[in-house]
């Protein structure tokens, strides 16, 4: 598993990270599942055929993933399919995850957040709130439906591997830290415990053989 130290302050900064790390795999056409404001569309310009789908924001096609049993596309229709920080928002996570592979002819990029890291400190302190959870009086328009850590996300991604689907890049990301602080924390919380406490995102890139 590769490790990087990056902070995503905005959706645009996360998109730039995706473009820098995975742009060489994009090919001729891209499907962005859960694109929201579609920042990748602006980055690509006219260089690559792009289609973003979502229920809100600025999608090219409005699709309610939560109410979908499959994506409205043909098998192998897109060279590159991406789904970034989306699956944790829908109950039918497993159904949409599987269908990403059906509509891709070559590459699939998926990321999941580390829900433990944003909740850990506030739970330990006994006060505070964190986005996408809690119990608001009025039903929110969006929330996380799943609560998992990096270890669980990593196991989930590995289980998708078959003879025809290879996990070619698994990359864990955490915020930049002073080396001394990072070293001290790794002593206190070795191996997967460290990433479950401090990493914020796990990216998985698959290739269909």
**Rounded distance between C-alpha atoms, residue 200 and residue 17, angstroms:** 14
CA atoms within 13 A on the CB side of 123: 9
* 103 in Cβ contact with 78 (< 8 Å): yes
**Structural domains for the chain:** 2-208 (3.40.50.150)
pTM exceeds 0.85: yes
The kind and range of the H/E element at 120 are: helix 115-125
As a whole number of Å, the end-to-end CA separation of the chain is 21
Please list the pLDDT of the chain residue by residue as tens digits (209 residues): 999 999 998 989 999 999 999 999 999 999 999 999 999 999 998 879 999 999 999 999 999 999 999 999 999 999 999 999 999 999 999 999 999 999 999 999 999 999 998 888 888 888 877 778 888 888 888 889 999 999 999 999 999 999 999 999 999 999 998 999 989 999 999 999 999 999 999 999 999 99
Decide: helix, strand or coil at residue 1. Answer: coil
* 48 in Cβ contact with 30 (< 8 Å): yes
């Amino acid at each position: 598993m590769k490790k990087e130290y990056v902070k995503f302050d905005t959706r645009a900064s996360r998109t730039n990270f995706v473009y820098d790390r995975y742009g060489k795999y994009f090919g001729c056409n891209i499907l962005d599942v859960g694109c929201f404001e579609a920042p990748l569309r602006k980055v690509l310009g006219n260089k690559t055929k792009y289609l973003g789908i979502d229920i809100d924001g600025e999608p090219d096609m409005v699709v309610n993933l939560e109410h979908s049993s499959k994506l409205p596309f043909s098998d192998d229709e897109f060279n590159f399919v991406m789904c970034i920080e989306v699956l944790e928002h829908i109950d039918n996570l497993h159904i949409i995850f599987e269908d990403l592979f059906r509509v891709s002819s070559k590459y699939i990029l998926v990321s999941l957040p580390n829900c433990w890291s944003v909740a850990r400190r506030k739970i330990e302190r006994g006060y505070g709130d964190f986005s996408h959870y809690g119990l608001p009086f009025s039903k929110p328009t969006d929330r996380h439906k799943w609560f998992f850590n990096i270890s669980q996300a990593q196991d989930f991604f590995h289980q998708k591997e078959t003879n025809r689907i290879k996990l070619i890049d698994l990359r864990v990301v955490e915020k930049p830290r002073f080396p001394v602080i990072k070293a001290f924390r790794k002593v206190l919380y070795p191996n997967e415990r460290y990433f479950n406490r401090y990493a914020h995102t796990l990216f998985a890139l698959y290739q269909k053989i």
